[in-house]
Chains A and B, each alone.
Chain A
């Protein structure tokens, strides 16, 4: 549940106005950013190591090369990743398996970052349909991924929505705190026009089963780090040890798509 109330204030009072302003901020020293994924689909899997971009500069990928990056699992497998371009490290032989815990280790001279993530057992992504529902003042169409949460709390999910091949920037996630053992009926719904489905759009959903720490990462990112003023601004809660931003996620991945009618 996000804050429907905030949006309601703006919409119902109808007196608010918005303008783009020029904002001076201090440039903090850049911080390391890590993004690493292992899935149950065939590799290669990628880990990126980069630095943040100052706020008022155009974003670009500031890759950090020359690090030693290894991924190992709890069955004794281990692999050192190859740097395919500056800051982008890829596996060559590793295959992700449900139920295994993966450990990431990145070293650069004195600096070490570590993280671990457990790939949950896959929950079947049974089907996908489009539902009409009301989003504040408009009736909109939104995709509903159908899956049945297994009994027992602790399952968590994340969804990436692609509309005509373009990634929808909305962050979609769920856990089973209130829906344990139930078939999902919640739609992927965001007020942003870029997240809105139109007739004839091709929609593809990537459903990921994620562990608790990764859920908390996406949850906190959505609440606090997207700059949309919903919560108390802060960096997302990372599962990386050593003082970097970002996450390391071992998750399952299933895709379904359809055409909006």
Chain B
């Protein structure tokens, strides 16, 4: 028998990395299609792709939004590696925005409930104090809302802010807010790409119910040294990047600091000039190419907020994360990434008030290992599998006084948890019209000793205390999660999709205010606190009009939730060693419909989004056991974002938002106890805050350009028509007639102008 050397069915693999010309940055989600055939693949989170085809001649079309499309002719008689460098469309600092808006939901892929943003897109959306912010830009998309006004906390499809998995280079960020939420921890200069999953998360993500916000840092330019920076009303920042060894390795360093507190220092009033309020953050990244098969990335983030009133009160908090990643290709069809991740969050509170002096320290630490394998089986099947293990250490609080502090040194028990997951997923192009992605994730969580755990009576009193030794398993929860997404192509310009996802959450944030304060306490599941679970079904319709100028998206979803946490009436959440006893558990449901119309090209780009939604809970012991609205329940939500390119130098932009007020509890009556007015609440969250709306305007102008230097000036106004939006409504006795009650509305921000200067060389 003669071996057939080259039968017509012999296949070879083309693999490679897609990069940006000029900077060497990897390009994510670029599509590689084979001309004349309905086959294609997408580059992964590291710009890598692999496609296996029969022996022959092909033309590969490599395209990514915001980049010039490139065609590569290939004579395929053997496995081949190709390196593709795409050129930016319009090399200006500015121009990319015009087309970049198109990066959204593609009508072809199975993934739904997903939003991609690049920093270029974030650039032109006006925001508070002119500080560009990825999380606030996400809030302008349907289904995503700020948890509390002005803040960067996200409520995605009716979820609470702790139900978002916020990743910075794969490291979970536990408090993604600066200055109590008015700014996010992400310095947009250091960010390459942000992906938000609102539903149908791929199996490699897990651990939170509502969403995944996957933020990827730039790698750093491996071609030449670049410096850019900016000066704004409240902050200054600088970003330096360049090659360590051209084409092989690079570094990136970004720093940002606010200086609003400098203005406080100018005051003559000693009660004002001794206050401080600032934050800073640093992003750094190094990456090395080790031969043709290996690449190493080391990235880190460190941020700190500081708030102090004279010498009396001080609160500082911040996150630190670091990620070491190793990309390795086992042959042309296997891509592996191994990540070692560290996440840390802490806050320190200092009270030093003439006799009552003490400090409180609270911290949270994660050690995390993640392995993900991608196997490009053939052009129709792309398999991903891997595992993740996280060891959580929570130190809820250590209170230290001193000899004359008036308090005893106290420390609350540390809590430990081991969160493991294994996952597998296949993206299968079943036919020209059908795309199916199916997978599963197994979440295994163990609460570990050492520590005391409790048996609790239904009223919250402790019946028994159980002692566990170091490392002893207190309780293990195993939760299988199903992830399925199916898309059906109706015609060349439209498709229907359906997806289903289970999620499990074992880290829970206990917040007494819902405003996302740095002192809110994270807890891990244990024998009393059960894993939160969600099951989400969504259905969507996607259509492109007028040669893809316009895109229309309609998505609906229904989420049912288990083990949702709320607090007993009058719960004591601060400085409480047995928080478990203050919590109640029940179920939740969230459903809604999201409409989005985008104009992707032309001088005017932007979108109009509308969301109708509902988010409710039912918990025995709250609201007489009846369904009630979650705080973040808002019926209507509208956002209009427009960007207009007036001339090559001028860009104008505006956004307008409107939403139904948050659900709140307002008093139905009043009474007096020991001479004080007390309010009577007849139901939980039975009322609404006044509707919220706001218009922001901004303009960006390119300044005179020199050979190696370009700069721009951006200015605008937040809340342009000075709407007095209600932040909070409080109640008090009328001064002249104390038997009467006054409702007082507090507004945080009126019209706030801003200006900032950015440069690049």
A interface residues (Cβ-Cβ under 8 A, vs B): 1, 3-6, 8-13, 15-23, 25-28, 30-31, 33, 35, 50-56, 58-61, 131-134, 136-139, 144, 160, 167, 169, 171, 177-187, 216, 219-221, 223-237, 245-247
Contact = CB atoms under 8 A, between A and B. Distances in A.
A239 to B, nearest CB: 12
A18 B743 CA distance: 10
B513 interface: yes
Interface string B739-750: 111111111111
Given A219-B572, A229-B729, A178 B744 contact: no
A171 B676 CA distance: 9
A233 B570 contact: no
B747 A233 contact: no
20 contacts: A3-B513, A9-B180, A12-B307, A13-B748, A17-B724, A21-B729, A23-B666, A55-B669, A59-B672, A59-B677, A134-B309, A134-B313, A134-B353, A169-B677, A178-B410, A183-B406, A187-B356, A221-B570, A233-B679, A235-B680
A30 to B, nearest CB: 7
B749 A223 contact: no
B377 interface: no
Contact of B670 (A23, A59, A237): A59
Contact of A180 (B408, B571, B672): B408
Contacts of A26: 668, 682, 686
B166 interface: no
Given A12-B277, A225-B678, A225-B681, 11 more contacts: A1-B575, A17-B746, A21-B726, A23-B743, A31-B680, A58-B740, A59-B670, A59-B739, A133-B312, A137-B275, A167-B675
B188 to A, nearest CB: 22
Contact of A178 (B399, B404, B669, B675): B399
A132 to B, nearest CB: 7
Given A58-B737, A237-B570, A245-B680, A137 B309 contact: yes
Contacts of A237: 568-570
A134 B680 contact: no
A224 to B, nearest CB: 5
B669 A28 contact: yes
B667 A55 contact: yes
B646 interface: no
Contacts of A181: 408
B702 interface: no
Nearest to B518: A5
A230 B514 CA distance: 11
A52 B669 CA distance: 6
Given A5-B519, A136-B309, A137-B272, A225 B679 contact: yes
A53 B670 contact: yes
4 A-B pairs with the lowest CB-CB distances in the bound complex, closest first: A220-B570, A227-B731, A185-B406, A28-B668
B751 to A, nearest CB: 10
Contact of A186 (B309, B356, B724): B356
A5 B315 contact: yes
Contact of A20 (B356, B677, B743): B743
Contacts of B491: none
Contact of A16 (B399, B666, B733, B746): B746
Contacts of B728: 229
Given A160-B674, A227-B731, A19 B354 contact: no
Contact of B667 (A180, A186, A233, A236): A233
B680 A8 contact: no
B287 to A, nearest CB: 39
Contacts of B726: 21
Contact of B570 (A52, A179, A234): A234
A19 B354 CA distance: 35
B752 interface: yes
Nearest to A246: B673
Residue in B513, B515, B664, B724 with the greatest tally of chain A CB atoms within 10 Å: B513
Contact of A228 (B353, B407, B730): B730
Nearest to A3: B513
A248 B486 CA distance: 62
Contact of B669 (A4, A30, A138, A221): A30
